[in-house]
Amino acid sequence: MNTVSNTRLQVMWNRLLSVVEEQGQALIRAAFSPIVRECGDISAGIFDVKGRMIAQAVTGTPGHINTMAEAVMTLRKHFPIGSMRPGDIYLTNDPWIASGHLNDFLLLMPVFYQDSVIGFTSCTSHLVDLGGQGMGPEGSDVFDEGLRIPLCKLLDKGEINQLLLEIVKANSREPIANEGDIYALIACCESGAKRLVEMMDEFGIVDLDTLSNYIIDTSRRGTYDAISDVPKGVWTSTLRVDGYEKEIELKAKLTVDENSMVLDFAGTSDCSQKGINVPLNYATAYSVFALRCIIGPDIPNNAGSLEPFIVKAPKGCILNAQPPSPVAMRHTLGQMTPDLVYGCLHQALPGKVPAEGASCMYDLPMRSAPEVAQRGGTVFALEPAHNGGTGARPTKDGLSATAFPSGVWGSQVEITEASVPVIIRSRELRRDSGGAGTFRGGLGQRIELQSSNDQPFGVFLSVERIKHPAMGRDGGLPGAPGRVRLDGGTDLPGKGEVRVAPNQTLIFETPGGGGYGPPDKRGPDAIASDIAEDFVSFEVARDVYGWEEDK
């Protein structure tokens, strides 16, 4: 490429971002599984010939996007470019390469222009069932958790690996959904490649080298500038969480120097015997995402803006689980790392980070009971996703029933009921669940569900904030803890498998976010609005906020 002005490079960068967003939408629209189609549990990206991420779709989770950025480098090194042909697509679901557990499939497709590889498209999405013990924490190792696929070729010059596809289907309770989702992933890669080539034709370029270097260098410099505004020093934080067999301590040390931020999880508890362990790639993805939300948030996410952030952890701690540790529910603790990181960053940048939130996504993987197939009943597996409240922000209330940090949209009642024999009796915000403060924490939600026929079904629980609620910041109060129970029964622990009989109702309440600032500083208009909206009861307004009705 000849010398190109920065203005023209910026125009091409903007076009590239629109290309990759269309790529992501192709995956969502073609997907079969509701958690992909309705909840956006995906990632999509474009990479240069060196395997560096230069653009990502806005739609997607940090656990998919930031792990994909590293995974492509691994696949790029494993498969020589000289062996690649047009129409080839590569695949893996290895938790320590892709995105932390077996249910996420990662695809990589080389993009050819004038007979040469000029870059790659890649994407990730969640497949609802890969056999084994299923999407729950009960496995004793990764081999219990389903089908593990090494680095391999899914498409060879456009021809699908039919044997691999049949193996995936044969090891799933939802074979049709899995097949459809794999084809949706293929369509995502192909859509991105097609649009990328069209963009190159439009701008008259024959490679991405100059554009890639511009994107990465510009983003890196911008991130260095943002880090330079953070006070230099070392800050530590500890977060105590529910765990499974026992409570767990997550520890972090954040070191800030002129051009980098280094996060070290030394001192964190050892691995669990159950499937809540977290591969370091996934813990890194969410930790760096949390930092990037505060440090240079307006800088696009790519290899340049990710480079200055370094995450370390001792092998064998629960945030750096080694194979063959069980990791099916790695998001349970992986999504708690932003609160841990913000405990450090708040000390360096007071008044900049939010209070703690529900953080851990309250997804409820469910499937038909084992005896149902023997009786000729409906065999199913589904993973509805629900969320609690986010922590209050330094200048705003928290968001109710909103996913942070995952960004996964909450499952819709109608879609869930249409997909499996389950009926949702109620779904509503939890009054008084948001932590009180000058700015109130976001509210959790209460959901009641039961079987819609005479079949029992099982639910895999792996949620947090049952014992340890989201804490407030700078005088704000904690949010309400989560709660799970069967009607007429005692509260259930946050981890384990629950059988729901046809005549039973499962009731689960997601946590609220912590408040920010002293409650007595909250404005009377805001309190009046909370009461009117039924977010806060009159009793809490009076006793906690000091509300007087005649104000």
Enclosing domain of residue 429: 354-551
144 lies in some domain: yes
278 lies in some domain: no
473 lies in some domain: yes
List alpha helices for 31-61, DSSP H. Answer: 34-37
Strands, E, within 59-211: which ranges?
89-92, 104-113, 116-126, 152-156, 159-160
Q: Which of 193, 220, 247 is the last residue of a domain?
A: 220
Please give the Cα distance from 391 to 406 (Å, whole number).
14
Strand partners, 230: none
> Can you read off the two tokens belonging to residue 502?
């046809």
33 lies in some domain: yes
Contact 123, 43 (CB under 8 A): yes
Q: Which of 181, 201, 220 is the last residue of a domain?
A: 220
Helix (H) or strand (E) holding 109: strand 104-113
Identify the pLDDT of residue 375.
Answer: 82
DSSP classification of residue 211: H
DSSP classification of residue 473: B
Q: Which of the residues in the chain have pLDDT under 70? A: 1-2, 550-551
267 lies in some domain: no
Identify the pLDDT of residue 495.
Answer: 96
Please give the Cα distance from 430 to 444 (Å, whole number).
5
Please give the Cα distance from 550 to 547 (Å, whole number).
9
63 lies in some domain: yes
535 lies in some domain: yes
Identify how many contiguous H helices and E strands the chain contains and give both numbers: 14, 21
Rounded to the nearest 10°, the torsion over CA 394, 400, 404, 407 is -130
Identify the pLDDT of residue 1.
Answer: 43
**Sign of CA pseudo-dihedral 159, 164, 170, 172:** negative
One-letter amino acid at 300 equals: P
Q: What are phi and psi of 468, to 5 degrees?
A: -120, 100
Please give the Cα distance from 113 to 120 (Å, whole number).
11
> Can you read off the two tokens belonging to residue 425?
């009796």
Q: Name the domain count of the chain.
A: 2
One-letter amino acid at 530 equals: D
Q: Which of 220, 236, 252 is the last residue of a domain?
A: 220
Identify the pLDDT of residue 185.
Answer: 98
CB neighbour class for 413 (10 Å; exposed up to 12, middle 13-18, buried from 19): middle
DSSP classification of residue 516: B
CB neighbour class for 551 (10 Å; exposed up to 12, middle 13-18, buried from 19): exposed
Please give the Cα distance from 362 to 445 (Å, whole number).
10
DSSP classification of residue 353: S
Please give the Cα distance from 117 to 111 (Å, whole number).
6
Total count of residues recorded for the chain: 551
Contact 530, 440 (CB under 8 A): yes
Strand 309-312 and strand 261-264: the pairing is parallel
Other residues' Cβ atoms within 10 Å of the Cβ of residue 118: 20
Q: What are phi and psi of 239, to 5 degrees?
A: -125, 120
514 lies in some domain: yes
Q: What is the pLDDT of residues 186-237, one digit of tens each?
A: 999 999 999 999 999 999 999 999 999 999 999 999 999 999 999 999 999 9
